Copies of this chain bind each other. A is one copy, B any other.
Amino acid sequence: MSISEQAKKMKLAAPTLAASTNDMRNKALSVIEEALKDNKEAIFEANHKDLAAAKENNIAEAIVKRLKFDEGKMQACIDGLKQLRDLPDPLGKVSLMREMDSDMVLRRVSVPIGVIGVIFEARPDALVQISSLCIKSGNCAILKGGKETAETNRVLFNVIRDAVIKAGLPGECMMQCELHSEIDELLKCEKEVDLLIPRGSNKFLQYIMNNTKIPVMGHADGICHIYVDEEYDEKIAIPVIIDAKTQYTAACNAVETVLVNEKIAEKFLPALRKACEEAGVIVNENLSGEEFRHEYLAKEMSVKVVKDVKEAVEHINYYGSHHTDSIITENDENAAYFEQMVDSAGVYRNISTRFADGFRYGFGAEVGISTSKLHARGPVGLEGLVTYKYIIEGHGNIVGDYAEGKRSFKFKDLL
């Protein structure tokens, strides 16, 4: 069956999945948990094949680390499934209930988005995390993982789909693409697919956005800033910067540019340079203009001296990517100004930018981080995977009566 034919079947099954109870969806998560344990050996064996192939292809050590699916990652997946099961049902939440008239009530109720396509990097644990988020939120999922973990993905996907069927949910609600060419086929399914979530490089995201009519959620860049204000705490500034730069350099929430208030530059910069040297971080201090749009994703960063918090905010809003930015200050007024004026998904005070993450926000897991302002912004967990519908129950009400003044709306909120 072609991707488009499978997607059509999925679209038809979507309302049935949407109508499933939280108990059924939680049961599916429990069955997945058991199935992962039961099929541990088969999963590890498949992963060994992927690792052997990676070795043969001389894939970099940092990437191989991500491909690996071992006891530790298995446990993390199982913990994630448990956490997700404990979260409240994201569906059927009534966010508005209003009497429009004495015999007509409006409700706004949360429902799944429908069919979601996720294209993700070669990380088997991502497959488990994304599938389980989609199941919990009642969404059909089309999964396309990185080719470097094809063997592991195939086993994991089959384990998960079997578990979904065993839990009584429609088997059509899960589908896997294995070929890179299938991505282009998927991009054409705008009638069947409600949302695409591509994870990976900026270039890849741009390719997706330029080649589909399906709405896309993702982040283009992660150019995050830390601004060290005049009244900074010495015990906070350096450790936060070093954590934000070095704790995981390849992450989108790693800091790329440090802005320093000119009044403290003379004292602070030597300390920063020293700390960076010790941490193996290269500091670029003589940049200008567009050079500040650079995302290093490595132990290297830009440093710029600014006049005040106002100039810092202007720099961040102009050169940043609206992802996550932090101010280091003991001054409440400057903190409030920064928090109000920085136009980013995450605006922090006195902490590392690396906290921008679904797990760390307590969302159980995340399907990605969005720098778009529409629908979901920042780490996207269950709430980002639902939409709503308006349900009105009446008794023969017609608009003509209200337009002609025979009846009038009462608008009484019942929530």
Q: In the complex, A387→B100 CA distance in Å?
A: 26
Evaluate whether A351 and B390 lie within 8 angstroms (CB atoms) in the complex, with A213-B209, A374-B195 already known: no
Contact, CB under 8 Å: B373 / A390:
no
Contact A243 B400 (CB under 8 A): yes
A235 at the interface (CB under 8 A from B): yes
* A31-39, A268-276, A342-350 - the one binding chain B: A342-350
Q: Which of B15, B98, B351 contacts A362 (CB 8 A)?
A: B98
Q: Are A387 and B377 in contact (CB under 8 A)?
A: yes
Q: Which residues of B contact A79 (CB under 8 A)?
A: none
A205 to B25, CA, bound (A): 37
Q: List B contacts of A317 (CB < 8 A).
A: 12, 15
Interface centre among A18, A341, A351, A403 (most CB of B within 10 A): A351
Whether A243 and B340, one on each chain, are in contact in the complex, defined by CB atoms closer than 8 angstroms, is: no
Closest-CB distance, A310 to chain B (whole angstroms):
11
User: A14, A217, A348: which has the most chain B beta carbons within 10 Å?
Assistant: A348
What is A's interface to B at a CB cutoff of 8 Å?
Answer: 12, 14-16, 18-19, 98, 100, 104, 106, 113-114, 194-195, 209-210, 213, 215, 217, 233, 235-236, 239-240, 243-244, 247-248, 313-314, 317, 335, 339-352, 354-356, 360-362, 372-375, 377-379, 387-400, 402-403, 409, 411
Known pairs A215-B374, A362-B409. 20 more at Cβ < 8 A? Answer: A15-B317, A18-B341, A100-B360, A104-B351, A114-B373, A194-B373, A210-B213, A236-B395, A247-B398, A345-B390, A349-B393, A350-B393, A351-B395, A352-B399, A355-B392, A355-B397, A361-B390, A373-B387, A377-B390, A378-B390
For the complex of A and B, 8 pairs with smallest distance between CB atoms: A243-B398, A351-B394, A236-B396, A354-B399, A375-B375, A362-B411, A374-B375, A373-B387
